[in-house]
A = this chain, B = another copy of it.
Amino acid sequence: MTSHTPTICVINPNTSTAMSEGIATSARRVSRGEILMHTSRHGPASLEGHFDEAIAVPGLLERIIETENGDTRVNGYLIACFGDPGLAAAREVASVPVMGVAEAGMQMAAMVARRFSVVTTLGRTLPIAERLLHEYGKREQCAGLHACELPVAAFESEDDSVYETLLAACREALKTDGSDTVLLGCAGMSELAERLGQALGVPVIDGVTAGVALLEAVSATGYPVSKHNDRAVPIAKPIRGAFEHLSRSMS
């Protein structure tokens, strides 16, 4: 029986600190160790499409590089946005495991059910979730992808109509798909997962809690991560313009 106490660094890749607070609360609820919560300093207030994600990624990587260069040793990074933006790049710069909440949520859902329904925010983000299902080998396990058509920012409010709208979308998804498990498609929905699960009487998986638990599981085994091929440290080279300082901090 190990006595190891892991530290997981959770990074919110949007610039909304309100959302980071909710994420941190969920993360701490399941953690067996410490949660280091970071918010990106660059990019959009919420990520709802390819452009939003693309602009957000450098700020996310900056926070990981700072943490790698910092004094606190962390045992894993969790990217707290359901599009898993920057995941492959993060794995180049990090020395420890990195997961995204979509990946973690899909893995966790596959451990508790044969098939799961995804319920996310806006319909325009569904193609992003579809691509991730393929990349993680979870297409067969996904019974359907659904949008509740609430923007990400709605989940910063505590307005009960947000919960009700999401609950209705989950019910509809379960019925349409004939499935019995929901995977929530937004880190901002994290705090609602438990309440939804009780209302629906089925597993309602949230990627934030799933990610913290899975990263702590990797940490418990002591396995190192692969650092070869496309996970090797980035090749040192000049960077111009906005993120010039990342070049210096990586050498």
Output the nearest chain B residue to A35 by Cβ-Cβ distance: B1
> Number of A interface residues, CB 8 Å?
99
Q: Which residues of B contact A113 (CB under 8 A)?
A: 225-226, 231
Q: Does A49 contact B (CB under 8 A)?
A: yes
B residues within 8 A CB of A242?
Answer: 42, 58-59, 242-243
Against B, the Cβ 8 Å flags (1 = close, 0 = not) of A1-32 are 11000000000000100000000000011111
**B residues in contact with A108, CB < 8 Å:** 217-218, 221, 223
- When C-beta atoms are compared, the residue in chain B nearest to A242 turns out to be B242
Binary B-proximity of A60-97 (CB < 8 A = 1, otherwise 0): 01000000000000000000000000101101110001
| Residues of B contacting A61 in the complex (Cβ-Cβ under 8 angstroms) | 51, 54-55
User: Interface on A for B, CB 8 Å cutoff?
Assistant: 1-2, 15, 28-34, 40-46, 48-55, 57-59, 61, 86, 88-89, 91-93, 97, 99, 107-108, 110-114, 123-128, 131, 134-141, 151, 178, 180-181, 194, 197, 202-203, 205, 209-210, 213-214, 216-218, 220-232, 234-235, 237-243, 246-247
Show 28 residue pairs from A and B whose CB-CB distance is below 8 angstroms, ordered by the A residue: A2-B29, A32-B220, A42-B240, A44-B237, A46-B237, A49-B232, A50-B89, A51-B89, A51-B93, A55-B239, A55-B243, A58-B242, A97-B111, A108-B217, A108-B218, A108-B223, A110-B136, A112-B223, A114-B226, A124-B232, A127-B230, A134-B134, A137-B139, A180-B226, A180-B229, A197-B223, A214-B214, A242-B242
